[in-house]
Amino acid sequence: MIDLTGRTALVTGSGQNAGLGIARVLAEQGARVVINDIHRERAEAAASALASEGLDASAAPFDVSDSRAVQSATESLGEIDILVNNAGNAGAGEMKQSRFQDMVPEDWVPFVDVNLYGVMNCTHAVLRGMCEREWGRVITISSEAGRRGLGIGVSVYGAAKAAGINLMRHVSQEVGVHGVTANTIALGLMNNVPEEFAAPLIKAIPMGRLGSPADAGHMAAFLASEEAGWITGQVFSVNGGASAF
Ligand SMILES: NC(=O)c1ccc[n+]([C@@H]2O[C@H](COP(=O)([O-])OP(=O)(O)OC[C@H]3O[C@@H](n4cnc5c(N)ncnc54)[C@H](O)[C@@H]3O)[C@@H](O)[C@H]2O)c1
């Protein structure tokens, strides 16, 4: 059913884990995928791995939080039909958990830079072209932490993830008339989180397992499809049932 042949998809932060899973599923459905990552070697290795499986993939290393870098990279890439804003967590740095009251303002920057400015930069760079061509799909990867309060030391991350969700909602209202959709996937706990972090939380997942890159990829492929053309401004939880609302 889902056929993305002829579509070009830019997946940010797709050098590994969920992003790579998303890029792989989109490519398996026929898309030409562009693998972005802030780490050049990671983007190139991921693109080579997909290409060696016979998939159409190329690498485009740049920092999504650098608006000028995003602008120049997307100009050189040409027409982007599908954008998946996947780059997130704490950006190029380590994802550390900390109570909000124990943080200082400098600690907030990497979370907001990648999870909000990164999404804004990339969406802004491709949106005009999508509207002119009267077709486009913007998909932002958010988190359960962007939908609700969690006492696990991710307040600023969660605030930036919530902002990404609402950006998609507003953008969807502006571009729907041009055949462009903007949706969010709120991922639950994925299988790349450290064991000690996952262990106490996995009990709250009715499906009894952590999410895989393919789980993220299949939802992204559906939202990228022709068939999802009347779905916009929505948030879809992909979390093994961890929050049934
Ligand atoms: N892992 C989880 O449990 C989980 C849960 C909910 C939501 N999410 C979200 O899903 C997405 C993917 O998470 P993941 O754990 O697979 O990510 P990850 O950290 O394993 O990989 C993200 C990739 O993005 C790249 N990246 C970071 N900053 C970048 C930047 N400024 N520009 C370009 N590339 C950049 C990194 O180099 C890395 O290769 C993120 O948006 C994350 O917030 C993850």
Q: Is 117 a catalytic residue?
A: no
The closest residue, in CA terms, to atom 2 on ligand 1 is 190
The pLDDT-based confidence of 112 (bands split at 50, 70, 90) is: very high
From 11, 14, 17, the mutation candidate for ligand 1 (largest count of ligand atoms within 8 A of CB) is 17
Q: Of all protein residues, whose CA lies closest to atom 19 belonging to ligand 1?
A: 89
How does pLDDT run across 160-218, given as a tens digit for each residue?
Answer: 999 999 999 999 999 999 999 999 999 999 999 988 888 888 999 999 999 999 999 99
Q: What is the pLDDT of residues 79-95, one digit of tens each?
A: 999 999 999 999 999 99
- Domains of the chain, first to last: 8-238 (3.40.50.720)
Q: How large is the average pLDDT for residues 227-235?
A: 98
Mean pLDDT across 64-78: 98
Cα 106 to averaged position of ligand 1 atoms, centre (Å): 20
List ligand 1's pocket residues with C-beta within 6 A: 12-13, 15-19, 36-39, 42, 63-65, 86-89, 91-92, 114, 118, 141, 143, 187, 189-190, 192-193
Length of the chain, in residues: 245
Nearest to 113 by CA among 75, 69, 172, 81: 69
SS3 80: coil
Q: Which of 89, 115, 122, 148 to mutate to test the pocket of ligand 1 (most atoms within 8 A of CB)?
A: 89
Could you tell me which residues come within 8 angstroms of residue 220 by beta carbon, excluding any fewer than 6 positions away? 22, 25, 26, 84, 139, 141, 185
- The DSSP call for residue 57 is E
> How many CB atoms neighbour CB 15 within 10 A?
25
User: How much is the mean pLDDT over the chain?
Assistant: 97
User: Containing H/E element for 79?
Assistant: none
Looking at ligand 1, which residue's alpha carbon is closest to its atom 41? Answer: 88
| Closest listed residue to residue 19, CA positions, set 219, 238, 216 | 216
- Active-site annotation holder among 65, 157, 171, 221: 157
Relative to the CA of 16, which ligand 1 atom is closest? Answer: 39
Which protein residue has the closest C-alpha to ligand 1 atom 24?
13
DSSP 8-state code for residue 2: -
201 Cβ contact partners less than 8 Å away, ≥ 6 residues apart: 152, 189
Confidence of residue 110 (pLDDT cuts 50, 70, 90): very high
* pTM, entire model: 0.98
How does DSSP assign 96-117, residue by residue? Answer: ----GGG--HHHHHHHHIIIII
192: three-class secondary structure by DSSP: coil
How far is it, in rounded angstroms, from Cα 93 to Cα 115? 13
